[in-house]
Amino acid sequence: MKNYKINKIILTVCFTLSYSLGLAANPQDWVKQLGKKSKKVSPKQTTVAAIRGVEEISDVDQNARNFEALAQIEKRKIPEQTLNQFITEGNLKITVKEPEAQTKIAPPLSETIPNPVTQAPVSKELKEAARPLSLEEEIALGREVAANVIAQFGLYENESLAQYVNLVGMTIVKNSSRKELEYHFAILNSPVLNAFAAPGGYIFITKGLLSLLKDESQLAAILGHEVAHVTQKHVIKEIQKSKMVEAVIPSHIKAAANQATWMKQISGLAIQTLWKGLSREDELESDRFGLEFAAKAGYDPQSFSQVLQMLKDRSLQSGKSKELRFLLSTHPHPEDRLRLVEEKLKSYPQGGEKLDKRFNEQTKL
Round to whole Å and give the CA distance between 262 and 255: 11
Report residue 167: phi and psi, to 5°.
-65, -45
**pLDDT over 60 at 321, yes or no:** no
Bigger pLDDT: 94 or 257?
94
- Residue 66 near residue 150, CB atoms below 8 Å: yes
Neighbouring residues of 265: CB distance < 8 A, sequence distance ≥ 6? 34, 242, 246, 257
Is the pLDDT confidence value at 187 over 50? yes
- Which of 231, 183, 177, 178 has its CA nearest to residue 83? 183
Predicted pLDDT at 67: 98
More confident residue, 340 or 330: 340
pLDDT attached to residue 340: 87
pLDDT tens per residue, range 61-87: 989 999 999 999 999 999 999 999 999
Select from 241, 192, 240 the least CA-distant residue to 60: 192
- Listed by start position, the domains of the chain span 1-36, 39-362
Contacts of 230 (CB under 8 A, 6+ apart): 178, 181, 183, 197, 198, 199, 200, 201, 203
State percent of the chain over pLDDT 90.
Answer: 46
pLDDT digits (tens, 9 = 90+) for 200-250: 999 999 999 999 999 999 999 999 999 999 999 999 987 776 555 455 444
* pLDDT value of residue 25: 39
**What is the model's pLDDT at position 111?**
36
Q: Residue 91: pLDDT above 80? A: yes
- Cα-only R_g, the chain: 22
Closest CA to 143 of 35, 51, 266: 266
How far is it, in rounded angstroms, from Cα 60 to Cα 57? 6
CA distances from 40 to 60, 74, 131, 182 (A): 16, 22, 29, 27
Taking 50 as the threshold, does the pLDDT of residue 12 lie above it?
no
Instruction: Give burial (CB, 10 Å; 0-12/13-18/19+) of 308.
Output: buried
pLDDT class for 56, splitting at 50, 70, 90? low
Q: Give the range with max mean pLDDT: 44-53, 101-110, 224-233.
A: 224-233
Task: Give tens-digit pLDDT for 134-164.
Answer: 899 999 999 999 999 999 999 999 999 999 9
Segment 236-283, tens digit of pLDDT: 987 776 555 455 444 434 444 566 777 787 888 899 888 888 888 888
Average pLDDT for the chain: 76
